[in-house]
Structure 1
C-alpha cells in the first residue's frame, strides 16, 4: 500500500510540474478586424451634369494597403458617364481607411466601393443660369 501511495504521489508531482503555476498565462490571440473608412469626402459633382439630371453609381475594386491608403483603384462598373467615373476614382484615391488586422498586424485588404451621384432635387438656383448660358450659346 505504501508503494502504491508513493507512486501516486510521484505521478501527482510530475503532473503538477507541467502546470507551472508561477508562469504568466499566454495572452489571447488578437481578434481580426475589418477595414474601416476614416475619411471619405464625396467626389466633386460637376454642376453642369447635376443640372442636366445626369447621375449614376460608379463601383470600384479598391486594394487598401496596410497603411490604410488605397493602393489600387479599378473600375468594376461605371455610372454611364466617363466624367462622373473619373471624379469618383479621384475621390476614392484620396480616401483614408483604418487597415484590417490579422494576428495583431495590419494587412492589405480588397473591398468594393460604390460612389453615387444623385442629381439634386429641386435644381439649385445656379442651374438656371447655366441653362440660360447654354441657350444663348445655341446649346
Structure 2
C-alpha cells in the first residue's frame, strides 16, 4: 500500500493537474423596489364641544285683574282707497312720409333740324289737247263706198286717233262703229292720210289722243 501511494504521488508530480476553467461568479439579479412615501399625518382637530342648551323658562301668564278697567279696543284705521291710475296720453307720432323717388325724366330728344324745303316746282303749263278741226278744210273727205251708196247705207263712225307730236296719226281705233264695215273701212283709210294739230304743253308739242267723228250721208 505504501508503494501504491508513492506511485500515485510520483505520477501526479509528473503529470501536473490541468488548470480548471475560470467561471465568473454569478451575480444574482438585483430587484429595486420603490416604496411610495408615507402620506403626511393629518392631525385631527379635537372635536368641538357641543354647546350646552340652556332650558327656556317660560314666564307664568299674567293674572288678569277682572276688576280693572279694560281699555277700549283701538279703532281700525281705514285704509286709503287706491287711486285709479291716471291715463297717460302719449302724443300720436305722425308717420313721416318717405319722399317718393321720382324716376329720372327721359331725355328730351333734340328736335330734328328741318331740312330746307325744296324749291317749289314750277306750275305745270296748260296742256292743249290735239285737234283735227283746224285741218278739216285741208284734209280730204273719205270716199263714199259705191256699194253703200247704191244701197243707201248711211252712218257715223267715231274714231280714236293717237296724234303724234309731228301731227301725223299713229294708232287709230274704232271707238264706235257705223254698223257697216264698208263705211268703217272708208273712214279708217281717209284718216290715215290726214294731218292733225298735236297736243301741246305750253309751247312744246307732245303726243295726244283725239276723237274724230266721220259722217256718211247721201244727199
Global fold match (TM > 0.5): yes
* Native 8 Å contact 2:142 2:190 kept in 1: yes
Higher-helix-fraction structure: 1
Partner of 1:96: 195
3-state SS in 1 of match to 2:128: coil
Quick check: 1:51 aligned with 2:150? Answer: yes
1:30 deviation in Å?
7.0
State the Cα deviation string for residues 78-124 of structure 1 (Å, max 9, x = none). Answer: 1111011001001111110121210311011111111110022xxxx
Partner of 1:33: 128
TM-score, structure 1 normalization = 0.60
TM-score, structure 2 normalization = 0.39
- Aligned Cα RMSD in Å? 2.0
State the Cα deviation string for residues 18-68 of structure 1 (Å, max 9, x = none). Answer: xxxxxxxxxxx9764342332322111013311321010111111100000
* Aligned residue-pair number: 93
Mean CA deviation greater in 45-54 or 84-93: 45-54
3-state SS in 1 of match to 2:196: strand
Mean CA deviation greater in 33-42 or 54-63: 33-42
Partner of 1:16: none
> Where do 1:99-118 residues align within 5 Å?
99-118=198-217
3-state SS in 1 of match to 2:186: helix
3-state SS in 2 of match to 1:101: strand
Shift of the 41–52 alpha-carbon distance from structure 1 to 2, 3 Å rule, reads same
Cα distance in 1 between the residues matched to 2:128 and 2:160 = 20
Partner of 1:63: 162
Higher-strand-fraction structure: 1
Query: Gaps (5+ residues) in structure 1?
Result: 1-28, 121-139
Choose 1 or 2 for highest CA Rg: 2
